[in-house]
Chain A
Amino acid sequence: MASLKELQNRIKSVKNTQKITKAMQMVAAAKLRKAQEAAEKSRPYSDRIGAVIQNLANSMSGAGDAPELLVGNGKSDTVLLVVATADRGLCGGFNTNIVRKAREEIVALEKAGKTVKLFLIGKKGYDQLNRLYDDQVVEYISLKEERKLHAGIAQRIGEQITGMFERGEFDVCKLVFSEFENVMTQNAVSRTLIPAIAGMGVEDDTPGEHAADKVFAPDLNGAIYTYEPDEAGILRVLLPRNINTQVFTALLENQAGEMGSKMTAMDNATRNAGDMIDKLTLTFNRTRQAQITSELIEIISGAEAL
């Protein structure tokens, strides 16, 4: 049996760990609130931009000169998978879930005979996916240096994706990220970015409440939209912007999910540490009692021998 001193040390060390996990939980809770707010604030914009594109797409359908970003380039041989994960660990199964989803996608796509290229955002996903598919990773971005997510980051990523599409490096683009439902639940989902029309109206898998699947058709009372400049001109600017927005939304959802997941994980860790302390304290007290008893027996038997 461990000595009293050893037990004492262990209790102390577990208590320290508990303090750390508790602090991390509280930090995550504070950040979660902020992240959730940010995600909610960005929602009107992404909802509206989706609606506007839907609108334009309807009026453009049938026209032969629809932009490739909207309807695709007619092929689907090469698929670019944009996988967004967190840069930090210690957040339960959050990153693993996204990576698992990405791997499912990769396996399914490769089975269908497609070439898969990977565009990775976030260090954790890179660490896990680069091991398996290092020759397919075409781009890796870490957001560790960014203090706060802002639209500029998403714009940079979005422009990179659009640029690659225009150079013909891929035909279809899918975005894998974690959709924030609530603190306990985050669903890893995949959405089609390019062609934009495929990402609308239908969800690829798990339906989300606030997702782009809200079909929006304004009641124009029979009036006709005036476009300034023309539809094609607007779409040309709007579609790349839509990609930026989708990326931005994904990053914000991810951030909220990461924090929620971290909060839950750290809460569990704190509770585990508490259980462990209780158990160790019990052993400590028993050991001490046993020691006292044996000392007493020694004294008493010594006295009787006299």
Chain B
Amino acid sequence: MADKLQFSLVSPEVELFTGEVDQVDIPGSEGDLGILPNHSPLMAAIRTGAITVYADGAETQYFVQGGFADVTPAGLTVLAERAALLSEVTPDALQGDIDAATQALESLEGEAALAMQQNLDGLKAVAGA
């Protein structure tokens, strides 16, 4: 396993992580993805949830909400609308978002409602963990 994956996690406000890792697990909108070095080029929307980064035998988890994962031969970039270390996200802090999402869900329909439901499920899963 000489190969490493160049990974960076950026949100509009800050570049949270950049460096070489062994594997990254991403919650894709169509299902979870595990990205290893030399992955084929991929562009995937991500849903609300946790990203797990494996580097040097250690695991780090990040909370992400909305965004994209972009895999190129140069590496993996996750563009998240919101991102933070999972350990810094408390269930209390998420409760407000859960309430807001629940409320927003009532007024939405069709595809937008599906997206919001996915967001809500992700928030609940992270808050419950």
A223-B40, A229-B29 in contact; A44/B68 too (CB < 8 A)? no
In the bound complex, do residue B12 and residue A223 qualify as a contact, i.e. CB atoms below 8 Å apart?
no
CB of A147 to closest CB in B, whole Å? 14
Q: Select from chain A the residue with minimum beta-carbon distance to B40.
A: A223
Which of A6-14, A74-82, A233-241, A273-281 lies at the interface?
A: A233-241
A218-B73, A228-B28 in contact; A234/B12 too (CB < 8 A)? no
Residue A60 at the chain B interface, CB threshold 8 Å: no
Q: What B residues does A224 contact at CB under 8 A? A: 41
CA distance A233 to B72 in the complex (A): 20
In the bound complex, do residue B10 and residue A44 qualify as a contact, i.e. CB atoms below 8 Å apart?
yes
In the bound complex, do residue A221 and residue B44 qualify as a contact, i.e. CB atoms below 8 Å apart?
no
In the bound complex, do residue B43 and residue A234 qualify as a contact, i.e. CB atoms below 8 Å apart?
yes
Which of B54-62, B74-82, B101-109 lies at the interface?
A: B74-82
> Interface 1/0s, chain B 86-100, versus A by CB < 8 A?
000000000000000
In the bound complex, do residue A228 and residue B44 qualify as a contact, i.e. CB atoms below 8 Å apart?
yes
CA distance A233 to B68 in the complex (A): 12
A-B contact pairs, 24 of them (CB 8 A): A41-B15, A44-B15, A45-B12, A45-B15, A48-B10, A48-B70, A48-B77, A52-B68, A55-B43, A151-B11, A151-B13, A151-B82, A155-B81, A218-B74, A220-B72, A220-B73, A223-B73, A226-B40, A226-B42, A227-B42, A228-B44, A228-B45, A234-B43, A237-B66
Q: What B residues does A223 contact at CB under 8 A? A: 40-41, 73
CA distance A224 to B79 in the complex (A): 20
In the bound complex, do residue A234 and residue B68 qualify as a contact, i.e. CB atoms below 8 Å apart?
yes
Tell me which residues from 1 to 59 in chain A have a Cβ below 8 Å from any Cβ of chain B: 38, 41-42, 44-46, 48-49, 52, 55-56
Residue B1 at the chain A interface, CB threshold 8 Å: no
In the bound complex, do residue A221 and residue B73 qualify as a contact, i.e. CB atoms below 8 Å apart?
yes
> Interface 1/0s, chain B 12-33, versus A by CB < 8 A?
1111000000000000111000
A228-B28, A229-B30, A234-B68 in contact; A42/B12 too (CB < 8 A)? yes
Report, as a range, how many residues of chain B touch the other chain. 20 to 34
Q: What A residues does B10 contact at CB under 8 A? A: 44-45, 48
| A residues with CB within 8 A of B | 38, 41-42, 44-46, 48-49, 52, 55-56, 150-151, 154-155, 218-221, 223-229, 233-234, 237-238, 241, 244-245, 248
CA distance A140 to B14 in the complex (A): 28
CB of A236 to closest CB in B, whole Å? 9
Contact partner of A218 among B8, B40, B72, CB < 8 A?
A: B72
Q: What A residues does B70 contact at CB under 8 A? A: 48, 52
Going nearest first, the 9 A-B pairs with the smallest beta carbon separation are: A151-B12, A228-B44, A218-B72, A45-B10, A226-B42, A225-B41, A44-B10, A41-B14, A44-B15
CA distance A155 to B11 in the complex (A): 13
Q: Select from chain A the residue with minimum beta-carbon distance to B42.
A: A226
Q: What A residues does B42 contact at CB under 8 A? A: 225-228
